[in-house]
């Protein structure tokens, strides 16, 4: 039994799997789960797909005036098959080839397959197309998309790649905020990938945001080595004087068509242009509508007449000065002024990232230390206040603080009268003073005015007490009255205390 085939519904253009035909039977149809229309072998789309799978002769080139049969199949809703691959979705369309999402039944996995547009190409065209496959097959790096296979079927050249779920760097840059550390990290990873290619003798020559995919984890992946050149192999595919690359990102020597002088530093220039654009949103050398590539890059001019190397920091003040210097060196006009290799650029970007990360961590630790210190001080202060309140309840109140002129309580009168000692301190000193911890055994003495009085009255409560009553400690100096007999208390409209019962106490002589 053959595996199911995937076709595109002619009504809703959704991808649908249908049963594959047996060798001696027709395709069994089905109903599209999206729109409900029938999808089977009777439709023109499926019949067209079957003819492509059988490998009919294909005439012409889709780049010419008449569309190729592939374009016709796409418009009718069926992608068909190429060799063992089932084409499921078209991912991209370029001037040289088309990229499809395809299923490889032999290895049971999805791949990205690049198909040459030109049918039955010449040997020279095939050599140029397969040069990308041979160049990328030499490379094994986490930031370079790997090549799985390459071949020629049904008059078409194809190369299958590892499928990456991601978006081009230019799309990612427009839909995400790229701060300087993020831009530096992406270009650092790309510079390491380019350095790996250079060590294997491969010069990319077409580094640009469209050839960089940012995957679901934010990791850049380098693709499309179609214009690459082997530095260790003499090639006649690119003649000297031909302009190879994308004008907005090519180096001045590329813009002048000096293909023999293009080396690792040309790729460094392209990396610098991408870094500049990621930092400030525009390229360092904007192309004019009328100028040639060499005029844009300043090629062919004397060093004194060339435009100065632009600064990303001048366009975006948020760019750190050290990172701006790295970017300026990468996009220098003269190759001798640039980084000698992509490895040197990657090392400087990595050093800046480590320095920036360390400064960020230091600021975070300093802020955390301040917050921790304030929290600890608050906790200790609260604990000290609770301890003071428990040990000296009267001192914790507003009267003990002496704020707003509130008089301090006459807290030690009862203890002083109980001891019968004369005061050692002047009469105008405060009556309540918190004792030192080393002298906690002897409490401080109160004022001397309470030593000769038989009764003590309070104008606030309207009562009089014996000097030994516990309520005396709550009477402030401003409300304290010294009384010799109950008649004096009655004259001042004071009532006897219900706790100490001063009228029932026997009369005692003073000292």
Binding-site members are 114
**Do residues 443 and 412 touch, judged by C-beta distance below 8 A?**
yes
Cα–Cα distance for residue pair 443/408, rounded to 1 Å: 17
Shortest CA distance to 352 belongs to which of 330, 370, 371, 382? Answer: 330
How far is it, in rounded angstroms, from Cα 237 to Cα 249?
22
Whole-number Å distance between alpha carbons of 96 and 438: 95
User: Binding site for ATP: residue ranges?
Assistant: 114
User: Are 242 and 257 within 8 A, CB to CB?
Assistant: yes
Token code pair at residue 80: 């068909």
Question: Can 108 be counted among the known catalytic residues?
Answer: no
How many Cα atoms within 13 Å fall on the side-chain side of residue 70? 25
Q: Which of 468, 464, 466 is nearest to 495 (CA)?
A: 464
Instruction: Single out the residue of 39, 52, 105 nearest to residue 80, CA to CA.
Output: 52
Quick check: 385 and 396 in contact, CB under 8 A?
yes
Burial of residue 11 (CB within 10 Å: 0-12, 13-18, 19+) is middle
In this structure, what is the dihedral angle of CA atoms 135, 140, 142, 147, given to the nearest 10 degrees? 50
Do the beta carbons of residue 271 and residue 207 sit within 8 Å? yes
Catalytic one of 149, 189, 195, 206: 206
Catalytic residues, by residue number, are: 206
């Amino acid at each position: 039994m053959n595996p199911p085939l995937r076709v595109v519904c002619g009504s809703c253009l959704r991808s649908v799997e249908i049963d594959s035909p047996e060798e001696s039977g027709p395709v069994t149809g089905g109903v599209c789960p999206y729109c409900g229309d029938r999808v089977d072998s009777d439709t023109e789309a499926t019949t067209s797909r079957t003819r492509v799978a059988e490998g009919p002769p294909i005439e012409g080139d889709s780049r010419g005036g008449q569309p190729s049969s592939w374009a016709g199949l796409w418009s009718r809703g069926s992608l068909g098959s190429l060799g063992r691959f089932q084409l499921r979705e078209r991912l991209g369309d370029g001037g040289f080839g088309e990229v499809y999402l395809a299923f490889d039944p032999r290895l049971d996995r999805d791949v990205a397959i690049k198909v040459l547009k030109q049918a039955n190409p010449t040997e020279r065209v095939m050599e140029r197309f397969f040069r990308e496959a041979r160049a990328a097959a030499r490379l094994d790096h986490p930031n370079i998309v790997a090549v799985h296979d390459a071949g020629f079927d049904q008059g078409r050249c194809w190369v299958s790649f590892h499928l990456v779920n991601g978006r081009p760097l230019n799309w990612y840059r427009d839909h995400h905020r790229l701060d300087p550390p993020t831009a530096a990290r992406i270009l650092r990873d790309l510079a390491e990938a380019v350095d790996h290619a250079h060590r294997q003798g491969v010069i990319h020559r077409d580094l640009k945001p469209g050839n960089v995919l940012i995957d679901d984890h934010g990791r850049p992946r380098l693709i499309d080595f179609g214009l690459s050149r082997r530095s260790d192999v003499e090639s006649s595919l690119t003649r000297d004087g031909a302009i190879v690359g994308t004008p907005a990102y090519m180096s001045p020597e590329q813009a002048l068509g000096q293909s023999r002088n293009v080396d690792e530093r040309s790729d460094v220039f392209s990396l610098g242009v991408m870094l500049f654009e990621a930092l400030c949103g525009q390229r360092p050398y904007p192309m004019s509508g009328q100028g040639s590539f060499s005029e844009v890059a300043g090629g062919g001019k004397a060093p004194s007449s060339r435009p100065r190397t632009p600064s990303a920091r001048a366009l975006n003040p948020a760019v750190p000065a050290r990172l701006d210097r790295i970017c300026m060196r990468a996009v220098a006009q003269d190759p001798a002024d640039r980084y000698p290799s992509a490895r040197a650029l990657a090392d400087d970007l990595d050093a800046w990232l480590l320095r920036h990360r360390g400064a960020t961590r230091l600021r975070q630790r300093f802020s955390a230390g301040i917050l921790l210190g304030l929290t600890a001080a608050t906790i200790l202060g609260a604990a000290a206040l609770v301890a003071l309140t428990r040990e000296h309840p009267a001192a914790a109140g507003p009267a003990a603080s002496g704020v707003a002129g509130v008089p301090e309580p006459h807290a030690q009168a009862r203890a002083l009268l109980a001891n019968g000692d004369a005061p050692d301190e002047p009469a105008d000193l405060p009556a309540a003073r918190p004792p030192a911890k080393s002298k906690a055994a002897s409490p401080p003495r109160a004022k001397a005015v309470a030593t000769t009085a038989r009764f003590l009255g309070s104008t606030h409560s309207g009562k009089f007490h014996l000097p030994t009553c516990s309520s005396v400690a709550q009477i402030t100096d401003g409300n304290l009255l010294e009384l010799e007999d109950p008649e004096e208390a009655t004259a001042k409209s004071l009532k006897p205390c219900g706790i100490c019962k001063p009228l029932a106490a026997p009369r005692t002589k003073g000292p």
